[in-house]
Structure 1
Amino acid sequence: MATPVLTPERLAASYSYTAYRHLIDELQAEGKTTGPQQSELLTNYTRLNVQRMSRIDKTIQLLPELRAAVAALPRRYAWLIITEGWCGDAAQIVPTLEAVAQASGGHITTHYVLRDENLDLIDQYLTNGGRSIPKLVVLDAETLTEAASWGPRPEPAQHMFLELKSQNLPFEEFSTQLHAWYAKDKTQSTQQEILQLVQGLA
């Protein structure tokens, strides 16, 4: 028997998407962000991320084949999404994951947890030894065992990230290039990879 990733009680204590967004807005009003580290820089990143999430929430158009795939899932899944408000990649990806779940007709529920409050969870899903987010862990809704995982970013963005990192660019330049890629991609790469993940579940 596979071991559950977390207890039902812990899953129940997670945030809904609405509650996650509300938490970020409340912290922003106090000049703060999520997580133990607080700085003006992180608060400014979070402000930008709120704008990014709101824009994607309003404009996202799901691929018809992705809509069909999630609506046809043979069983129910709980999507555990490990994130933080200051994370730029999360701002680009989390609204897409939420839109996919909303299109599933109840086959998928989403559950958001903050990385730095759940280090034992993220440490099960390290990327090249690092606690990169966002991370999607697909759980069987009945057993809470892992069915799949994905993240922290679609492959073309991950490739670009590693390439830019190797060039030792200043963070601002690095970040600008990465977010320009996300803007041009319009969530298509994320949707294609989530489609492959969902098709793997069927």
Structure 2
Amino acid sequence: MATPVLSAERLAASYSYAAYRQLIDVLQADGKTTGPQQSELLTNYTRLNVQRMSRLDKTVHLLPELSEALAALTKPYIWLIITEGWCGDAAQIVPVLEATAQASAGKITTHYLLRDENLDLMDQYLTNGGRSIPKLVVLDAATLTEVGQWGPRPHTAQQMFLELKSQNLPFEEFSTQLHGWYAKDKTQSTQAELLTLLRSLQ
């Protein structure tokens, strides 16, 4: 029998999307961000990320086929999302995950965990040996066992990330190019890959 990814008690201690956003706002007001590392740079990234998330919260429109796949789900699922407020990729993706779950008519509930407070869990979902976020782990709602996973970013963005990283670009240039890709893509790649994930559950 498959082992639950985490206990019901630990799941209950996770954040809702609203609570996650509120936590970031409260920390921002104090000049801080999530996680043990604190710096003006990380705080500035977080401020940008709040703007990104707020924009996406208002503008994400689900693909019709994604809505159809949500309607076709026959059982409830929990989406466990490992993230941090300072992560630019998370800011581009988490609102899409939340919008997808919100459109599921209660079949998907989201639970947010901070990476650096849950490293034992994060270390079960490394990408090329790194603690890349955001990471989505799909759980059977009844058993809390894993039935799927996705992340940390769409395939095209991941390939771009690896290419840019290999060029040793200054972070600002690196970040500008990656977020430029997200802006042009308008969440379409993320949604397409979530569609594939949902269909694998049927």
- Structure 2 length normalisation: TM-score? 1.00
Tell me which stretches of 4 or more aligned residues in structure 1 moved more than 6 Å.
none
The aligned counterpart of 1:144 is 144
Deviation at 1:144, TM superposition (A): 0.2
Structure 2 alignment gaps of length 5 or more: none
Deviation at 1:72, TM superposition (A): 1.6
The aligned counterpart of 1:171 is 171
Amino acid at match of 2:166: S
The aligned counterpart of 1:192 is 192
After superposition, residues 93-132 of structure 1 pair within 5 angstroms as 93-132=93-132
CA distance in structure 2 between the aligned counterparts of 1:67 and 1:87, rounded to whole angstroms: 27
Give secondary structure in 1 for the equivalent of 2:50: helix
CA distance in structure 2 between the aligned counterparts of 1:65 and 1:103, rounded to whole angstroms: 12
Give secondary structure in 1 for the equivalent of 2:68: helix
Deviation at 1:71, TM superposition (A): 1.9
Deviation at 1:68, TM superposition (A): 1.2
CA distance in structure 2 between the aligned counterparts of 1:96 and 1:21, rounded to whole angstroms: 14
CA distance in structure 1 between the aligned counterparts of 2:104 and 2:9, rounded to whole angstroms: 24
Amino acid at match of 1:119: L
Amino acid at match of 1:105: A
After superposition, residues 1-202 of structure 1 pair within 5 angstroms as 1-202=1-202
Amino acid at match of 1:136: L
Deviation at 1:129, TM superposition (A): 0.2
* Cα deviation code 1:141-171 (max 9, x no counterpart): 0000000000000000000000000000001
CA distance in structure 2 between the aligned counterparts of 1:108 and 1:143, rounded to whole angstroms: 14
* Cα deviation code 1:25-49 (max 9, x no counterpart): 0000000000000000000000000
Question: Larger deviation: 143-152 or 62-71?
Answer: 62-71
Structure 1 alignment gaps of length 5 or more: none
Deviation at 1:102, TM superposition (A): 0.3
Give secondary structure in 2 for the equivalent of 1:21: helix
CA distance in structure 2 between the aligned counterparts of 1:78 and 1:70, rounded to whole angstroms: 13
